[in-house]
Structure 1
């Protein structure tokens, strides 16, 4: 099997770039099918319509129903085929991105991804995470290619709630550690090959950028201003993490996230928040050095990522529920098997409990 790195055909990031959407569409489509939430449409419609007028582009907006599920994808495929459109544009957060990519795949159309938050690494990948209509993890849909264009307006992202940027940092935090685990176990990546030295370097750069710019970017997001630190974190959350995870692979952190979707109380948390706790648990499973673990957990505490089960909404720890999380995380169709260790649900359950206690310990040290 070859060493393969995947990426979108074009990545465009900058202030006010949403107003150039139709300019960037010119080579792939003239009639965009824009998938967006009801609230998101109100925020992005004006600059897009201005761009459409300049480039004589016909727009069709479709409201996303809230879940990247098989039923929603099937519904959208039918609507798209009747619309006369020739390119899919997904504007919003991770579930809209994944739905737009799946829609484009089944409709045999090009796709443009436009994040309005830097909350996940979904925009750049050739992957859609499929959930049930109720929001529980169901499966991964592996796509034959990455998006044609990823268009990131940092002015839009800087005005989004700061918690979403932090969630993106949580998702990005896993990238290097899961890449390292896949390298050690010689596990394949998401695109039918193995890591390259470039993809491993990107994964490491993602982590280094979080440490160097995370706190400053959080402060900028809280003030709703676009600084160089915020620009760097947007790129880390979106591009570096996206290329890093897809081209290197994922392991325990995301598997544990998927397990937590079975506990209703955690549904209040964003994807990256649960992934951050999964990253800490992965480090416990690996028996990471005290220095490394402290660096990661202190970063989480600095920016406000979860370090305890209580932070995830679990106020009463029930061992049978945590064991269910561990069992799902260790299921054959998930990525726990990419760890360079032999792990059982019992071992993972114990590691989750230990991570929770460590989280309380490090929080107490700050009092």
Structure 2
């Protein structure tokens, strides 16, 4: 049996670390193409230029088109060629990371990931999630290697809206439960082999860190401060979850997230918010002990993650639409088939409605 654990060549995290980006990247190349949103460029350009001011490295900045799609990847590939860039840097969130990782792969150049938010575990992975231009899930692009550098400035992350950090907790919440399901089914992971004890340990540590520091970190970031709890949650959202999901495996939670992308009402939610509800659905599918489900629901409610269909934007339940979500979740190439038992659309449909009922019950208890 072949086992594997993979990760970025280097992971650096700290308060104000973006100011030292030149020190961490000086061996990668000479012509850097920096991709960020228009606002992201405004926020970080002067910091990056100052860091590189006494070097011979040239910088070029380009705004991200807004979606990790085949069209945007092709546009940026052409931009790399036009500017003779030999390093690409992605600054921002998950869609930007997935886009620049894909561009770096196709153009065979190093990639640097600089999160300005801790809303997903995308930074560390050798994976790009490709969507259509309309935002509907299209496919996973498995990459041959992880990023060359992941540089996390917690000062910048703490200045972002707290909802983004909480969304990252939702994405990280699935890590342990999906890795556990893959271990039970002996499924291959995103790393292309079986899970290692190290990957499972990181996945469990990720979950334990969320329970211990999640609420404290949310409260700190609401006040734009960096505490030890914030540092721990940023590491959990970014590194522990990134290694844990990739080398531990994906299962039902992310497949159910992908299923919900077919419902327009859910498009305004962040990835991790939908994954959190998908985690609850997975626990229902597994018939997990009530104590475990309660622990997850209580955590979600404490930090503001969805536990009902209404929480993810579905104010009135259209049962035909829920069936379409269930069918999309069970597409032939979906990760739901890594569960340790056969799952069909009817099972997912029932689990979604049951998870919604469970979430409503606990919310009603809290409101009394």
TM over 0.5: yes
Q: Write out per-residue CA displacement over residues 65-91 of structure 1, whole angstroms, 9 at most, x where no aligned residue.
A: 000000100111011111021101000
Deviation for aligned residue 1:258: 0.2
The aligned counterpart of 1:266 is 266
The answer to whether the 8 A contact 1:185-1:339 is kept is yes
The answer to whether the 8 A contact 1:91-1:97 is kept is yes
The aligned counterpart of 1:359 is 359
Name the CA distance, whole Å, in 1 between partners of 2:88 and 2:45: 16
Name the CA distance, whole Å, in 1 between partners of 2:344 and 2:99: 32
Q: Which aligned pairs between 1:269-348 and structure 2 lie closer than 5 A?
A: 269-348=269-348
Count of residues in correspondence between the two structures: 367
Tell me the SS of whatever aligns to 2:124.
coil
Name the CA distance, whole Å, in 1 between partners of 2:348 and 2:59: 48
The aligned counterpart of 1:86 is 86
5+ residue gaps, structure 2, are none
The answer to whether the 8 A contact 1:23-1:55 is kept is no
Deviation for aligned residue 1:57: 2.2
Q: Which aligned pairs between 1:120-135 and structure 2 lie closer than 5 A?
A: 120-135=120-135
When structure 1 is superposed on structure 2, of 340-349 and 139-148 the one drifting more is 340-349
| Deviant stretches of 4+, over 2 Å | 54-57
Q: Write out per-residue CA displacement over residues 149-178 of structure 1, whole angstroms, 9 at most, x where no aligned residue.
A: 000000000000000000000000000000
Name the CA distance, whole Å, in 2 between partners of 1:344 and 1:128: 26
Q: Write out per-residue CA displacement over residues 269-306 of structure 1, whole angstroms, 9 at most, x where no aligned residue.
A: 00000000000000000000011000000000000000
Name the CA distance, whole Å, in 1 between partners of 2:261 and 2:322: 11
5+ residue gaps, structure 1, are none
Deviation for aligned residue 1:46: 1.4
The aligned counterpart of 1:165 is 165
Deviation for aligned residue 1:56: 3.2
Name the CA distance, whole Å, in 1 between partners of 2:139 and 2:334: 8
The aligned counterpart of 1:40 is 40
Q: Which aligned pairs between 1:1-367 and structure 2 lie closer than 5 A?
A: 1-367=1-367
RMSD: 0.6
Tell me the SS of whatever aligns to 2:54.
helix
Tell me the SS of whatever aligns to 2:35.
strand
Deviation for aligned residue 1:54: 2.6
Name the CA distance, whole Å, in 2 between partners of 1:25 and 1:342: 46
When structure 1 is superposed on structure 2, of 45-54 and 123-132 the one drifting more is 45-54
Q: TM-score if structure 2 supplies the norm length? A: 0.99
Q: TM-score if structure 1 supplies the norm length? A: 0.99
Name the CA distance, whole Å, in 2 between partners of 1:36 and 1:109: 18
Name the CA distance, whole Å, in 2 between partners of 1:17 and 1:56: 21
